[in-house]
Amino acid sequence: MSGSKIFVEAAINGARTPDAHPNLPITPEQLAAEAVAAHAAGAQVVHLHPKSADGQDSLLPETVAAAVTAVRQAKPGLPVGVTTGFWALPDAAERLAAIQAWTVLPDFTSLNWHEPGSPELAEVLLGMGMGVEVGIFHAEAAQSWAASDISRHCLRVMLELQPDADSDLADELLELVASANSPAPTLLHGLDGSCWPLLEHAGRRGVQTRIGMEDTLLLPDGSVTPGNAALVAAAVEILQRY
């Protein structure tokens, strides 16, 4: 994968809480600083989870606005996306209402297709003018998404695999996604134990990928990362081999 073709999304905090790592970004100021650092290390876009003061994910309008605004002020023009994770507001109607009340809109949102109410939420997100980065966790979700009208309108299709996943499962899901003939590019990433092997597989397959403190707290050599920039830099170094 040549340097001009490398696409890395930095997922800078995820649903992790402050006890996971001393440098996990929580506040708007911390999120902005990590977003800028990740971009400088080679990330093209940033995905973040707006958080309440105690480090819990939040979809409330004021929390989202503060996080997105901080990143935009720190790095104008850097595409920023946020989660719509069901765990942050585990009621489909309440989640939909909270997002409809957003006053500052991110450039894109991640939307896990298997979560309750996600197809309906996708329509709302698109109608509000935000890109939809659909998250596919398993074959059932891939098949359902591929059969939907939303498959033609996504910004990205993100294969989000669990710690025990391997390249065989990744290839199976890549094939299912390809069958949809969606114009959206595909992004492949893993979590914790599968993170670095699947990032390498993304390089071999020539698809987009993701790295950051949401996905792993460890560098490829097993040491604890000081922050997101080190993870992104390591990812870019790996991807340049392909």
The H or E element that residue 81 is part of is strand 80-83
The Cα 75–Cα 168 span in angstroms is 38
Q: What is the pLDDT of residue 3?
A: 53
Q: Alpha carbon of 222 to those of 81, 121, 188: distances in Å?
A: 28, 38, 21
Q: Mean of the pLDDT values across residues 43-64?
A: 97
22 pLDDT more than 90: yes
90 pLDDT more than 60: yes
- In this predicted model, what pLDDT tens digit does every residue of 95-127 receive, in sequence order? 999 999 999 999 999 999 999 999 999 999 999
User: How many degrees, rounded to 5, is the angle at CA 33 between CA 28 and CA 36?
Assistant: 120
Structure-token pair, residue 124: 């709302």
Q: What is the pLDDT of residue 1?
A: 54
Counting Cβ atoms within 10 Å, is residue 56 exposed (0-12), middle (13-18) or buried (19+)? middle
Q: What is the pLDDT of residue 196?
A: 98
The H or E element that residue 34 is part of is helix 28-41
Indicate the number of domains in the chain: 1
Q: Mean of the pLDDT values across residues 43-72?
A: 97
Q: Mean of the pLDDT values across residues 51-68?
A: 97
| Helix pair 167-178, 195-205: axis angle to 10 deg | 50
CB atoms within 10 A of CB 222: 7
The percent of residues in the chain predicted with pLDDT above 70, rounded, is 98
Q: Mean of the pLDDT values across residues 141-165?
A: 97
Range of the domain at 38: 3-239
The Cα 84–Cα 220 span in angstroms is 29
Instruction: Give the CATH number for residue 189.
Output: 3.20.20.70
The Cα 127–Cα 148 span in angstroms is 16
Q: What is the pLDDT of residue 4?
A: 59
The percent of residues in the chain predicted with pLDDT above 90, rounded, is 98
- In this predicted model, what pLDDT tens digit does every residue of 159-198 receive, in sequence order? 999 999 999 999 999 999 999 999 999 999 999 999 999 9
What rounded mean pLDDT belongs to the chain? 97
Residues 6+ apart with CB under 8 A from 225: 213, 216, 217, 218, 219, 231
User: What's the distance, Cα to Cα, between the start and end of the chain in Å?
Assistant: 4
Q: What is the pLDDT of residue 120?
A: 97
Structure-token pair, residue 190: 């893993």
For the chain, the residue count is: 242
Q: What is the pLDDT of residue 5?
A: 85
